[in-house]
Amino acid sequence: MLALTHVSAGYGPITALDDVTFTAAQGQITAVLGANGAGKTTLLRTISGLHRPRAGTIEFDGTRIDRVSAERMPGLGLSQVPEGRGVITELTVEENLRLGGLGRGGRVAPSDLTRIYDLFGVLGDRSAAMASTLSGGERQMLVIGRALMARPTMLLLDEPSLGLAPRIVTQIFSLLRDLVRDEGLSVLLVEQNARSALSVADRGVVLNLGRVVADAPANELAADDQLRHAYLGF
């Protein structure tokens, strides 16, 4: 469903992605793992239209998207979830959610909000609260909920576990798993926390210095001691 073929990208003389080829299948969680500087952020920015690749192609549902602007991505079914600090603190929880639905033509159906409150009960309980009063975990749920308001077919997540307690990470990852199982959503999960990501993912792609060094089912990567020690830090 999302296919990168020989993608290279960089900044001036720096090569951040070097001949990257992999696919993220429909209805699965694909984890992209790697240490600091491996190229994970550049990869997400390149997929979501914020950074132009130097070479290669990116296809989503059979359509070339490597020349599509970031604003048009949600309309194609691709929604990026920024990390939790991406909530708008001056707005309420519900106002933040409504913003996520605007890209689809300006109207937000009540059923869209109900769906998010069913998924994340705490957001329903706190719908009128200012987003500034939410905890880190609740903010992460809010940015995921806001992205879901656009009714994407694929979510791109940027380090959702960053700065969160292990218990909250488990809760958020199991919610992603439920969404994939119940709604056929596809997820590209970019994470430095490889252990947690592999416990929820179907497949993992490991980046090192901008190159793909492994691409395999998540359970195989988690069982590969050499790979874990060399690239995954656990």
Q: How many Å apart are CA 128 and CA 139, to the nearest integer?
A: 14
Angle subtended at Cα 181 by Cα 199 and Cα 148, rounded to the nearest 5 degrees: 95
Place of tokens 């700065």: 163
In order of 20, 204, 205, the CA distances from 213 in angstroms are 10, 11, 8
Residue from the set 1, 24, 33, 38 that interacts with ligand ATP by CB under 6 A: 38
Tell me the sheet residues that pair with 152.
none
Q: How many Å apart are CA 234 and CA 230, to the nearest integer?
A: 9
If one asks whether residue 11 binds ligand ATP (CB under 6 A), the answer comes out as yes
Rounded to a whole number of angstroms, the minimum distance from the CB of residue 36 to ligand ATP is: 4
Stretch touching ligand ATP by CB under 6 A, among 29-37, 91-99, 119-127, 224-232? 29-37
Rounded to a whole number of angstroms, the minimum distance from the CB of residue 40 to ligand ATP is: 4
Q: Are strands 63-64 and 78-81 parallel, antiparallel or unpaired?
A: unpaired
Rounded to a whole number of angstroms, the minimum distance from the CB of residue 92 to ligand ATP is: 31
Residue from the set 6, 25, 37, 234 that interacts with ligand ATP by CB under 6 A: 37
Q: How many Å apart are CA 122 and CA 72, to the nearest integer?
A: 30
Rounded to a whole number of angstroms, the minimum distance from the CB of residue 42 to ligand ATP is: 3
Residue from the set 7, 30, 33, 42 that interacts with ligand ATP by CB under 6 A: 42
Tell me the site size for ligand ATP, rule CB under 6 A: 12
User: Which stretches of the chain bind ligand ATP, using CB under 6 A?
Assistant: 11, 14, 16, 34, 36-42, 192
